[in-house]
Amino acid sequence: MQKRKLGNSGLEVSALGLGCMGMSFSYGPAKDKREMTTLIRAAVERGITFFDTAEVYGPFSNEELVGEALAPFRKQVVIATKFGFDLSGSDNRPGAAGLNSRPEHIKQAAEGSLKRLKVETIDLLYQHRVDPNVPIEDVAGAVKDLIQEGKVKHFGLSEAGVQTIRRAHAVQPVTALQSEYSLWTRTPEKEVIPTLEELGIGLVPYSPLGKGFLTGKMDENAKFDSSDFRSTLPRFTPEALKANQALIHLLAGIGERKKATPAQIALAWLLAQKPWIVPIPGTTKLHRLDENIGAVSVELTPNDLRDIENAASKITVQGARYPERLEKMTGR
């Protein structure tokens, strides 16, 4: 497995990480813990060293799963987790209880994550969403304290806007920004990616396969259980799924040329954008894990990239990526 460094931080991880959220949360009922432990360990055996979780996934159960599964490999892996949701209420869906990035809450959240992950230090700690009620300098300062105490190694932000990134970075250098980025969500390209390049910050795209859409396995007849987060997303209505098939035809066409699947082309395209981009596709299936890892050896030439760009520029993606309430939490 190839390695990449997240910006100028020196944090080296596998070129592809593993997003673990869907194992416990968001995509239908939680999966079998033993099976998911086996999958996480299979990822380590295949050279993946970067694993992503958050306290809100479950809540808490995903960190416990990841901590337990990776305990035997602690020295060879990097675990990223996140704080920033208020989980004190009874409704623990992300955002339902609102945000909380007050410094005392961050420190409390970090203590909980350390225990559940069974680690002495959190490798990478992200603010999950920017909290408009807490100055970002206070957030960065709280994480800086945790770094000085040896409880955290690296500071990250998720879905933050450019001004927030700059202000946070001035207090405590930001190692990585985690944001949605893929061929059907290209928002970071305009302002965020140039800013990350300038400041030497890595980019960790989540949902790099468009929450499963870019695998080419979904059409307008796809059905989502009410426990599946996608059932609430405008981009997963039958109309949008039908309209957005044009992207799948594009990926499949390039895939034929390269003897690769649409998913592999989608990931290879992301990897080709910048050397400091590390996508974290999630999966609960071993054959999908292997397929995703295969993307690392797909070489897209400048011509291939130009063809993808030309074709993609003629496609307008239909449907908002989040309902308005959740969209408001991004880009702050």
- Which are the catalytic amino acids? 57
Query: Can you tell me the distance from the alpha carbon of 86 to that of 68, in angstroms, rounded to the nearest whole number?
Result: 24
DSSP letter (8 states) at residue 234: G
Long-range contacts of 297-305 (CB under 8 A, 24+ apart): 298/258, 298/260, 298/264, 298/265, 298/267, 298/268, 299/258, 299/268, 300/254, 300/258, 300/265, 300/268, 300/269, 300/272, 304/254, 304/257, 304/258, 305/269, 305/272
Measure the CA–CA gap between 107 and 111, rounded to whole angstroms: 6
Amino acid at 67: G
Take residue 277 and report the two structure tokens written for it: 């981009």
194: three-class secondary structure by DSSP: helix
Distance CA 172, CA 89 (A): 31
Query: What is d(CA 246, CA 173) in angstroms, rounded to the nearest whole number?
Result: 40
Give me the residues paired with residue 51 across strands: 18, 79
Report how far apart, in Å, the C-alpha atoms of 73 and of each of 44, 68, 146, 201 are: 8, 10, 24, 26
The residue count of the chain comes to: 332
Helix 136-148 crosses helix 162-171 at what angle (to 10 degrees)? 40
The pair of structure tokens assigned to 81 is 């987790």
